[in-house]
Structure 1
C-alpha cells in the first residue's frame, strides 16, 4: 500500500460534490452548508480568509486564458496588488515566460492539475499524477514549489480533499464567483456588479482569465474595492 493510500484509505467517501454557496444579502459571508464546512475544516481547505478584517484575496483560474494574462499582470502591477493564479499544464507549456513573470512579480502560482481533471472521478494514482506532474513542470521553469490547489470545476470529495492534503497542498475554493468562463449576458457591468454586491470581509474572489468581461472592469474593480476600505491580501496570510 502506498503512503497516499495509507493517509487516505479506500474507505473514504468519494461522493462527488460541486462547490456551491447560498448567497446572503448585505455583504454577509455565503452559506456553504454543514457538510462542506466539516470537510473543509477536516482537511484544512479554505473558501474565505480573515473574516474579522476588511481584506479580500484575488484569484484567477488559468484553465483557459485567451491571451489575457499579460494584461491582467499589467493591471495588477499598476495597482500594486498581488493575486494567486491557478495554472494547468497547457498554460505552463504555452506561456512559461508568463509563469516566470507571475513569480517574479510576487504572485502565488497554484496547481490546477495538468489536464483540468475532476479529481473525484479518477483513481488515487491518476489524481496524484495530475497534481505531481504539474508541480514538476512548474518547478522545472521556476525552481519553486507549489502549495495551493484549486480543484478543477470546483468538484471535490472527501477522498480528493484528503489526497490533496496528503500531497502537501491546501485546497482553495472561493466565496465570490460567477459563470464568467462564458460571456456574461450583462457584459462587463454584470461582472463588476456581481463582485461589488457580494463583497465581504475575507472574501476569496475567483475570476477566470478567459473572461473578456472581467478584463474590461478589472482596473476599476480593484480601485473601487480599495475605495470601500478593503485591502488585497495573499493566501499566505490565511492561518
Structure 2
C-alpha cells in the first residue's frame, strides 16, 4: 500500500506526546522525526491491508493472533459467504500518515476537521438516530463497538459501514481491561475482532481500551498481537454518559473542541442523540467538519 507522505506536511505544529498509563501517546500527523521511547517507528511497519475499515477486506492479510480468525475474507472462525461484506460497500478508508503513533489522542491542529467517536452499545434505535442525524449533516463518525452488542445487534455493523462511517474495536464485554491479565486482555480484544471480521470482513483499523482513556503498555501489546497497530484515545470528553441533558452535552463539547480534536461520545444515551444536530451545527459554525478518525489521520 502506498502511504501518502504529503499528508505529513499538512501538520505544522509539533504536538507533545502525553505520558499516560505506562506508555507514550501523541497526535496523528505529528511531525516528530523519530519514534518515541518504547515505540516502533510507524514507517518501519507495513500497514496491514485488512485494516481498511469501510470496505471489503483485502486478500492475503495477516492472521489475527492466538486462535482468533484471520483477517482475509472467508478465513474467520465460522466465516462463510453469508458473513462477507455486502457488494457495493463504501470505499476503503485512506492510509494513515506515515508517522501515526501507536496511540492517537488528536489529529493535526491545523485541520478544520474533528473526529466524533462513539461507544457502540445501547438501544439500536438511538444508534440509528445518531447515524441518520450525522448523515443528514454530511458528517462521518467512528463507532468503537462492544462485541457483545454486535452479538445482540449484528445488523448494526453493516448499517454503520453502509452509512460511510467507520468501525473500531472497544473490547467484547467493556470491562476494565487495565486490570486484566495479558491473556484476559487479549481475549477481550480478539473476541470483538472476531465479531467484526465475521460481520464485515475486517477487524477494523482502531482499538480503544474499555474503562480507560489510554491503553497501558500491556494492553497496547495485546492489541498489536490481535492485529491493531493503533489505539484510539481522545482529547475531548463531554461526559455524555452521565446523562446531563442535551444542552449540557452540546455546550461542553463545543467549548472544548478545536481543529484536530477526537471526541468521545456514547450511542446509548438519548441526550447524546438529541444533542448531535446542535453539535454538528455548532461545529459548522466554527468552520469544522466531522470526519472519521482515519480521515483525520490521513
Per the normalisation by structure 1, the TM-score is 0.79
Distance in 2 (CA, whole Å) between partners of 1:158 and 1:235 is: 22
Distance in 1 (CA, whole Å) between partners of 2:258 and 2:146 is: 29
Question: Which residue of structure 1 aligns with residue 243 of structure 2?
Answer: 183
Give 5+ residue unaligned stretches, structure 1.
1-29
Deviation sequence 1:80-103 (CA, Å, 0-9, x none): 111110111221012111211111
Distance in 1 (CA, whole Å) between partners of 2:25 and 2:17 is: 10
Question: Which residue of structure 2 aligns with residue 129 of structure 1?
Answer: 187
Alpha carbons of structure 1 residues 154 and 198: separation in structure 2 relative to 1, 3 Å: same
Question: Which residue of structure 1 aligns with residue 226 of structure 2?
Answer: 167
Greater shift in the superposed pair: 151-160 or 93-102: 151-160
Residues 144, 170 of structure 2: 8 Å contact kept: yes
Give the aligned length.
Answer: 208
Ranges of 4+ aligned residues in structure 1 off by more than 3 Å: 30-38, 63-67
Deviation at 1:33, TM superposition (A): 4.9
Deviation sequence 1:4-35 (CA, Å, 0-9, x none): xxxxxxxxxxxxxxxxxxxxxxxxxx998544
Per the normalisation by structure 2, the TM-score is 0.64
Deviation at 1:48, TM superposition (A): 0.2
Deviation at 1:117, TM superposition (A): 2.2
* Greater relative CO (CA pairs within 8 A, separation 6+): 1
1:40 matched to 2:3: no
Q: Which residues of 2 match residues 1-239 of structure 1 at below 5 A?
A: 33-35=18-20, 39-41=24-26, 42=39, 44-65=102-123, 67-154=125-212, 156-169=215-228, 170-184=230-244, 187-237=245-295, 238=297
Residues 90, 115 of structure 1: 8 Å contact kept: yes
Distance in 1 (CA, whole Å) between partners of 2:20 and 2:169 is: 24
Deviation at 1:38, TM superposition (A): 5.4
Deviation at 1:162, TM superposition (A): 2.5
Higher helix share goes to which structure? Answer: 1
Give the superposed CA RMSD: 2.3
